[in-house]
C-alpha cells in the first residue's frame, strides 16, 4: 500500500521502500533514518554557529593536519552516536578519527553494515557562513556477522557501496541519498522537524555549462588538465558553451549544484600532491556512487573511482565528477597524461 500523501517524510519513504522488499530486514532503512536524526541535530548547531561559542578551533589537529573546529567534533560525535546506538551498524570510519571504530557490542556485532563519513566537509567555511555538508558511505560488511567488524570491512571498492549520501547545510538543509534504485532528495521542513521528499529520482543532466576547479592551482596541474581548463574557458555558443566557472571551496555544495543542474567538478592532482587533496573513502566514493546512479560519471583521471581498491582509510585521489558528456570530453584530454 502506498501512503497517499503529497509529501512523504524520510521515515515514510524509507519504510515504503523497505515494504517493497518483504525479505528486507529494515536495517538499511533504520540506518538512513538514524543519519537523518543526527543531521537534524547538526543542522541546529550549524544554523546558530555564529551565535554561540561553538565556533573557533577546538585546539586540536586532525589526521589531515587541519585545525579542527568545534563543530567538526560535535558533528562527528552526533553521527557516531546515532550509529553506535542504532541496530544497523557494526562500526564507523571518519575523517575526524585516525582509525576506524569497532562498536563491539552484541547488537552492533550482529549488524550488517559499516559506515564511513566526513562529518562536516568544508568546515573551513563555517566561520563565513558558506554552505557545508556531511558525506557518508554505507557498505555491507565482509567479515562474519556476529563478530566485531575489521579493517577490511572499510577497505572495499566504492562499487560495493549499498548506499551513499550527503546532507547540505545551506539556504535549506537537504538530505540526498542513493541506493542502486535511485537518488532521492529530502528537504528539512523546520515546521515539523522532518526531512520531506522534495527531489524524487534525481538525474544528473548529461551536460551542463558549469565547470568547478580551483584556478589558484592551475600551474600545478598537468599540461593536459590545463588544456582542458583552457577549453572550458574558450567554449561559446558554437561548441556547447559558454561555460561559467563556479567553485566555492565546499565540495558538497559544488557537487550538489552540478548534480542538479549539470556540470563538472575537478580536483586534480598537482605537481607536489599527485593524488590531490580529496579522500577516496568518505568524499569521492560516496559522490561517485551518487552521481553514477544519477547518470553521471566519476574518475580519478584514468579509471572509475568506484573501481579503486583502497589500501588506507585516509588515502587521497584525484577526483573528476559530473555530467556524462562533459566527463567524456574531459577523458579525451586526461587519457593523454
Residues found near ligand P6P in the complex (CB under 6 A): 121-122, 124, 214, 249-251, 254, 277
State which residue, 209 or 277, has the beta carbon closest to ligand P6P.
Answer: 277
State which residue, 167 or 251, has the beta carbon closest to ligand P6P.
Answer: 251
Q: How far is the CB of 325 from ligand P6P (least distance, A)?
A: 22
Give the residue from 314, 317, 315, 320 showing the smallest Cα distance to 333: 320
Enumerate residues 6+ apart whose C-beta is below 8 A from 71.
42, 45, 46, 49, 54, 55, 120, 123, 126
State which residue, 91 or 318, has the beta carbon closest to ligand P6P.
Answer: 318
State which residue, 253 or 334, has the beta carbon closest to ligand P6P.
Answer: 253
Give yes or no for a contact between 175 and 167, defined as CB atoms under 8 angstroms apart.
Answer: yes
Residue 270: C-alpha distances to residues 95, 211, 223, 255, 335 (Å): 22, 18, 11, 20, 16
Q: How far is the CB of 230 from ligand P6P (least distance, A)?
A: 19
Q: How far is the CB of 133 from ligand P6P (least distance, A)?
A: 8
Q: How far is the CB of 95 from ligand P6P (least distance, A)?
A: 9
State which residue, 89 or 278, has the beta carbon closest to ligand P6P.
Answer: 278
State which residue, 156 or 217, has the beta carbon closest to ligand P6P.
Answer: 217
Q: What nine digits make up the cell of 32?
A: 538512513
- Residue 209 to residue 259: CA distance in whole angstroms: 12
State which residue, 131 or 173, has the beta carbon closest to ligand P6P.
Answer: 131
Q: How far is the CB of 254 from ligand P6P (least distance, A)?
A: 6
Helix axes 251-261, 285-293, angle to 10 degrees: 10
Tell me whether the omega of the peptide bond preceding residue 242 falls within 30 degrees of 0, making it cis.
yes
**Which residue number is nearest to ligand P6P in terms of Cβ?**
251
- Residue 300 to residue 321: CA distance in whole angstroms: 9
Q: What nine digits make up the cell of 202?
A: 534525481
Residue with cell 537518488: 183
H or E element: which one contains 328? helix 324-334
Bridge partners (DSSP) listed for residue 197: 186
Beta-carbon-side half-sphere exposure of residue 144 (alpha carbons within 13 Å): 2
Residue 136: C-alpha distances to residues 262, 286, 335 (Å): 22, 6, 30
- Residue 323 to residue 262: CA distance in whole angstroms: 6
Q: How far is the CB of 19 from ligand P6P (least distance, A)?
A: 36
State which residue, 150 or 248, has the beta carbon closest to ligand P6P.
Answer: 248
Q: How far is the CB of 69 from ligand P6P (least distance, A)?
A: 11
Q: How far is the CB of 192 from ligand P6P (least distance, A)?
A: 30
The vertex-83 CA angle with 77 and 86, nearest 5°, equals 135
Give the residue from 113, 180, 177 showing the smallest Cα distance to 140: 113
Q: How far is the CB of 231 from ligand P6P (least distance, A)?
A: 20
State which residue, 33 or 314, has the beta carbon closest to ligand P6P.
Answer: 314
Amino acid at each position: 500500500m502506498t501512503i497517499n500523501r503529497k509529501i512523504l517524510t524520510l521515515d515514510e519513504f524509507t519504510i515504503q521502500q523497505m515494504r517493497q522488499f518483504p525479505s528486507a530486514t529494515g536495517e538499511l532503512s533504520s540506518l538512513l533514518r538514524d543519519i537523518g536524526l543526527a543531521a537534524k541535530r547538526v543542522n541546529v548547531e550549524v544554523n546558530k554557529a555564529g551565535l554561540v561559542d561553538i565556533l573557533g578551533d577546538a585546539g586540536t589537529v586532525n589526521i589531515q593536519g587541519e585545525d579542527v573546529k568545534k563543530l567538526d567534533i560535535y558533528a562527528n560525535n552526533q553521527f557516531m552516536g546515532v550509529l553506535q546506538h542504532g541496530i544497523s551498524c557494526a562500526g564507523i570510519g571518519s575523517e575526524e578519527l585516525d582509525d576506524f571504530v569497532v562498536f563491539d557490542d552484541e547488537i552492533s556485532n550482529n549488524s550488517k553494515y559499516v559506515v564511513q563519513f566526513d562529518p562536516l566537509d568544508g568546515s573551513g567555511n563555517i566561520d563565513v557562513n558558506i554552505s557545508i555538508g556531511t558525506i557518508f558511505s554505507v557498505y555491507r560488511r565482509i567479515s562474519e556477522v556476529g563478530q566485531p567488524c575489521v579493517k577490511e570491512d572499510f577497505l572495499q571498492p566504492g562499487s560495493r557501496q549499498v548506499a551513499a549520501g550527503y546532507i547540505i547545510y545551506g539556504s535549506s538543509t537537504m538530505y540526498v541519498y542513493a541506493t542502486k534504485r535511485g537518488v532521492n532528495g529530502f528537504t528539512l521542513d523546520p515546521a515539523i522537524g522532518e526531512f520531506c521528499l522534495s527531489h524524487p529520482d534525481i538525474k544528473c543532466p548529461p551536460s551542463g555549462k558549469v565547470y568547478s576547479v580551483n584556478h589558484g592551482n592551475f600551474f600545478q596541474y598537468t599540461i593536459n588538465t590545463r588544456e582542458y581548463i583552457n577549453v572550458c574557458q574558450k567554449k561559446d555558443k558554437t561548441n556547447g558553451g559558454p561555460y561559467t566557472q563556479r567553485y566555492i571551496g565546499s565540495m558538497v555544495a559544488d557537487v550538489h549544484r552540478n548534480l542538479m543542474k549539470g556540470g563538472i567538478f575537478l580536483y586534480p592532482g598537482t605537481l607536489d600532491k599527485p593524488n590531490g587533496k580529496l579522500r577516496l573513502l568518505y568524499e569521492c566514493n560516496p559522490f561517485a556512487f551518487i552521481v553514477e546512479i544519477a547518470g553521471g560519471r566519476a574518475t580519478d583521471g584514468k579509471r572509475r573511482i568506484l573501481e579503486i581498491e583502497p589500501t588506507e582509510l585516509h588515502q587521497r585521489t584525484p577526483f573528476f565528477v559530473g555530467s556524462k558528456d562533459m566527463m567524456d570530453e574531459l577523458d579525451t584530454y586526461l587519457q593523454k597524461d
